[in-house]
Amino acid sequence: MEEKTRPREDVETSRLDAINVAQDGLAATDKYGSALVEFDSHAEARRRTKIDFAVVPLAALMFLFCSIDRANIGNARLAGLEKDLGMRGNDYNAVNSILFVAYLLFEFPHNFLCKLIGPGWYLPGLTMGFGLASIGTAYVHNFSELAGVRFVLGMFEAGVMPGTAYYVLSRWYRRSELTFRLSLYIVMAPLAGAFGGLLASGILNVKGFGGFADGSWRMIFIIEGVLTVFVAILSFLFLTDRPETARWLSNEEKDLAIARVKSERVAVTSVLDRPDWRKLWKGLANPVTIVTGLCFLLETVTVQGLSFFAPTIVRSIYPRASVTSQQLYTVPPYVVGAVCLLVMSLFSWKTDRRCIYIVLCAPTVIIGHIMFLSTVDSTARYVALFLIASTVFTPGALTHAQVSANVVSDSARTMSIASNMFFANIGSLISTWSFLSWDGPDYRIGNGLNLATSGAMLILASGLLYWMKKDNERRARKDIDEELSGLDQHHIEDLDWKHPAFRWKP
């Protein structure tokens, strides 16, 4: 029933319940995991839409330019970066590896500091840092300088994706809503490939300035870096840290925003708990986190390989095309990938399922790589690129949503997301060596590797889906009162996903 047609006393009761469960120290569920407050669906939808427009756009912009600044080296490569810097052999692979070494080193510290300091300040600071590093790339003169600045770029970028995922997931949305909201900023990865190609082709036709020659690859880094710094300034001014500090929410709306998230977390008395090592460990040692992270590792080998080497792959398909045309050929597959990501994530939201969609993402990627390995026809290979791009980006949103949905506390969620990204960064590091210069133009090693990782992801995700179903059946047979007997509230909260009323959310 719509809020305006409900009796006054029902509206008032719902409001007071939201105020009560929003307070720290009070649980929003009973010991069996059932929510203690019922929310009006129409009122909740209106608040959710308001949150969407306030939270998602800035998060998406930050991730867009993070993706552009990470992948624009592929566009610069087509424009002569290797020749100008005297790079030889697999120097290009090595310099991209250095980026992900920094990712691996700084991933967990960034996520912990993001929780400690607050994403409202920390994420804009990281964005400012990698924007300045991108500008610095325009002024390198040899391989060593390029390697150094790429390490600095990775040092700042390492905290952006997990930090943004943590910010969007932990503080604003219900479990079923996670994948689609994540997709609204993760879609910036394929759009960065499309937009980056368009932007690079435009920049290369701009008249030189600031001592740079016309069409210099250096202008790609400086112009895109300046745009990133502008986004960082906007984020400092407008990014809201959490519902309690949101100036655009009324007190009643703040209570509702907190209460609706809290009502899905078994035995939790505070949405934003203090860092607790036992809860942090629950996020790392969670079996769903580990297997999902392995799926993300396998998927990222293909995603980052595509990000760094799509221009190179297109050049191998259309070697006689101009550099500008080669840049533009990279755009359509990314656009298809962005659309498919949003559509599949929307289905995930409406069905409140994630793992089955991870399974469904693998077959098209497998078929695409089989086509690359089985034919040299240019048209068939370009079609294969579309097939690969169509679903390869979607597991990024699905895996983050899955690890978040399968822990309880905010601290555990911080580490589960960081762990998921740690696995992904291992995949990214592997991807930098998947397309080797001497393996072109067919790149049988790179395509064979991606075929294997896609097949392995299909098997792992299918196995995880089956295991969650069976373990939920086992949990349903437990006596919750007996399991919780003798435990106080503090110890009950520390159980996290081991709480007997907890169920895996596939």
Specify the CATH number for the domain of residue 72: 1.20.1250.20
271 pLDDT band (50/70/90 cuts)?
low
How many domains, in total, are found in the chain?
Answer: 1
- What is the 3 state secondary structure string of 248-304? CCCHHHHHHHHHHHHCCCCCCCCCCCCCCHHHHHHHHCCHHHHHHHHHHHHHHHHHH
Using CA atoms, how far apart are residues 162 and 59, in angstroms rounded to an integer? 11
Is the distance from CB of 103 to CB of 230 less than 8 angstroms?
no
Q: Is residue 158 part of a domain?
A: yes
Examine residue 156 and state whether it is found in any structural domain, yes or no: yes
Q: 35 by DSSP, 3-state: which?
A: strand
In whole angstroms, what is the distance from residue 354 CA to residue 505 CA?
8
pLDDT at 32: 58
Q: Among residues of the chain, what percentage have pLDDT more than 90?
A: 27
Q: Strands of 167-210 (E only): list them.
A: none
* Contacts of 227 by beta carbon, 8 Å cutoff, 6+ apart: 65, 131
The DSSP call for residue 34 is -
- The confidence band for 11, taking pLDDT boundaries of 50, 70 and 90, is very low
d(CA 62, CA 36): 37
- Tell me whether residue 38 is in a domain: no
Specify the higher pLDDT residue, 282 or 307: 282
pLDDT (tens digit per residue) in 59-86: 888 888 888 888 888 878 878 888 899 9
Q: Is residue 441 part of a domain?
A: yes
Most confident listed range (266-280, 317-331, 339-353, 484-498): 339-353
Long-range CB pairs of 147-153 (<8 Å, 24+ gap) are 147/94, 147/95, 147/98, 150/73, 150/95, 150/96, 150/98, 150/99, 150/102, 151/98, 151/99, 151/101, 151/102, 152/102, 153/69, 153/70, 153/99, 153/102
Least confident of 3-17, 78-92, 269-283, 293-307: 3-17
Whether residue 451 is predicted with pLDDT greater than 90 in this model: the reply is yes
Q: Please report which confidence band the pLDDT of residue 268 belongs to, taking 50, 70 and 90 as the band edges.
A: low
The answer, yes or no, to whether residue 233 has pLDDT greater than 90, is yes
Q: Output the CA angle 283-286-288, nearest 5 degrees.
A: 120
pLDDT tier at 4 (50, 70, 90 boundaries)? Answer: very low
Q: What is the 3-state secondary structure (H, E, C) of 45-110?
A: HHHHHHHHHHHHHHHHHHHHHHHHHHHHHHHHHHCCHHHHCCCCCCHHHHHHHHHHHHHHHHHHHH
**Residue 141 in contact with residue 85, Cβ under 8 Å?**
yes
Confirm whether 386 is domain-assigned.
yes
Radius of gyration of the chain (CA): 24
Question: Who wins on pLDDT, 269 or 277?
Answer: 277
Using pLDDT thresholds of 50, 70 and 90, give the confidence band for residue 209: low
CA atoms in the 13 A half-sphere facing the CB of 29 = 23
Average of per-residue pLDDT values in the chain: 82
DSSP element (H, E) containing 369: helix 355-374
CA separation, residue 216 to residues 74, 179, 462 (Å): 14, 39, 47
Residue 9 has pLDDT above 50, yes or no: no
pLDDT at 461: 96
- When pLDDT is averaged across residues 124-134 and rounded to a whole number, the result is 94
Segment 149-173, tens digit of pLDDT = 999 999 999 988 888 877 766 678 8
Q: What letter would DSSP give residue 3?
A: G
Average pLDDT over residues 14-37: 58
Mean pLDDT of the region 52-58? 85
**Side-chain half-sphere CA neighbours of 55 within 13 A:** 28
Query: Which pLDDT belongs to residue 25?
Result: 54
Give the model's pLDDT for residue 286: 93
Q: Is residue 9 part of a domain?
A: no
Structural domain includes residue 280: yes
Residues 6 or more apart in contact with residue 452 via CB below 8 angstroms? none
In a domain, 493, yes or no: yes
Residue range 180-190: mean pLDDT, rounded: 81
- Domain interval for residue 380: 44-248+257-498
At 460 the three-state DSSP class reads helix
Stretch 133-153: mean pLDDT, rounded?
Answer: 94
Would you give the distance in Å from CA 442 to the centre of its chain?
30
- DSSP class of residue 39? -
* Structure-model confidence comparison of residues 273 and 289, the more confident one: 289
